[in-house]
């Protein structure tokens, strides 16, 4: 479980082995200092993000187990132009299904409205995916950065290199390490 901050905004990333777990049960004291988030459930404090891209999907507990106890969670956010959201999702689905395992094994992009959250770990775990993607095409553009750039609303007044993807501050990193099993997220 990792908690990242961007000013007063928080982004929680966590993994569960045995079914869904609500964020309220992981951080029960947070309700006292979080504002209500508008939307489906009145008074909710957390808004779920939709998985729109991942370099790999877990196929088993053994496959997904962390082996590098020195890895650090890394998070960043970007803003999509509303009219570019469908195109962005399309390209990313194509990418993940044509080239599974092409980046950090644990790298994932979630989306809520037009905000994108990217979770990864440093150093990246690069290994082949133990499965084939769902597409047999080869349509992912080679000039990826050039094709992606028009999809974003750029940040102003940020460090160089963060005009599109703004780095987040890691404020909580909670992992359990069991020597018998390797690194396991709490």
At 102, the pLDDT band (50, 70, 90 cuts) reads very high
Mean pLDDT over 35-47 rounds to 83
At residue 107, the pLDDT reads 98
At residue 106, the pLDDT reads 98
How many domains does the chain divide into? 1
Helix H, strand E, coil C: the string for the chain is CEEEEECCEEEEECCCCCCCCCHHHHCHHHHHCCCCCCCCCCCCCCCCCEEEEECCCCCCHHHHCECCCCCEEEEEEEEECHHHHHHHHHHHHHHHHHCCCCCCCCCEEEEECCEEEEEEEECCCCCCCCCCCCCCCCCCCCCHHHHHHHHEECCCCCCCCCCCCEECEEEEECEEEECCCEEEEC
State the residue range of the domain holding 49. 2-185
pTM attached to this predicted model: 0.90
At residue 14, the pLDDT reads 95
pLDDT tens by residue, 141-165: 999 999 999 999 999 999 999 999 9
At residue 40, the pLDDT reads 74
User: Considering only 26-30, 97-101, 169-173, which range has the smallest mean pLDDT?
Assistant: 26-30
Q: Is the pLDDT of residue 177 over 90?
A: no
């Amino acid at each position: 479980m990792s908690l990242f901050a961007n000013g007063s905004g928080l982004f929680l990333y966590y993994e569960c082995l045995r079914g869904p777990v609500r964020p309220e049960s992981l951080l029960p004291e947070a309700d006292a200092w979080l504002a209500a988030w508008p939307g489906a459930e009145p008074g909710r404090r957390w808004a779920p993000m939709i998985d729109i891209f991942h370099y790999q999907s877990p196929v088993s507990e053994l496959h997904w187990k962390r082996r590098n106890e020195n890895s650090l969670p890394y998070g960043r956010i970007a803003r999509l132009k509303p009219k570019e959201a469908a195109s962005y999702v399309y390209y990313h689905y194509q990418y993940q299904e044509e080239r599974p395992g092409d980046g950090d094994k644990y790298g994932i992009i979630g989306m809520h409205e037009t905000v994108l959250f990217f979770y990864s770990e440093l150093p990246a775990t690069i290994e082949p995916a133990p499965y084939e993607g769902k597409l047999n095409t080869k349509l992912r553009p080679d000039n990826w950065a050039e094709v992606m750039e028009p999809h974003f609303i750029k940040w102003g007044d940020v460090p160089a290199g963060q005009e599109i993807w703004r780095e987040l501050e890691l404020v909580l990193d909670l992992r359990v390490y069991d020597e018998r099993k390797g690194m396991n997220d709490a």
